[in-house]
Amino acid sequence: MVSRACRFSICRGGFLFVKFDDEGAGVNKSELIDQIALDAEISKAAAGRALDAAISAVKQALKKGDSVTLVGFGTFNVGKRAARTGRNPRTGAAIKIQSAKIPKFRPGKALKDALN
């Protein structure tokens, strides 16, 4: 595993600001937990439970069709993809693709401003 440096800060307005030292490199869940534990001065186990609880709460709200707004960070909501006709790439035959619910994220102004 390649270690890369990143910094997370909770800024005024309550949003999470992420700064990467490696351009284009992502952060995995364990690195996020490490940084949460460091910033909040809690154990990694507690940070992991807190992150899992937050993700679970967002999933449950989206499952019910609700949206989740984190002021300054963004809004998670459920979008609908209509049923459509597609093509099987191997045979070229037309196939029906069912409609689906998909998660969407719209970044908040503070998050957009932090990136520019």
**11/6 Cα distance (integer angstroms):** 16
What are the pLDDT digits (tens) for 35-78?
A: 999 999 999 999 999 999 999 999 999 999 999 999 999 999 99
Q: What pLDDT sits at residue 2?
A: 45
- What are 7's two structure tokens? 């910094």
What are the pLDDT digits (tens) for 12-30?
A: 555 555 655 555 678 899 9
Per the CB < 8 A criterion, the answer to whether 57 and 84 are in contact is no
**3-class DSSP state for residue 97?**
strand
The domain 6-115 having CATH identifier 3.30.420.10: the answer here is no
**Alpha carbon 80 to chain centroid, angstroms:** 18
What are the pLDDT digits (tens) for 73-113?
A: 999 999 999 999 999 999 999 999 999 999 999 999 999 99
What is the C-alpha end-to-end distance of the chain, expressed in Å? 30
- Work out the number of other CB atoms within 10 angstroms of the CB of residue 106: 12
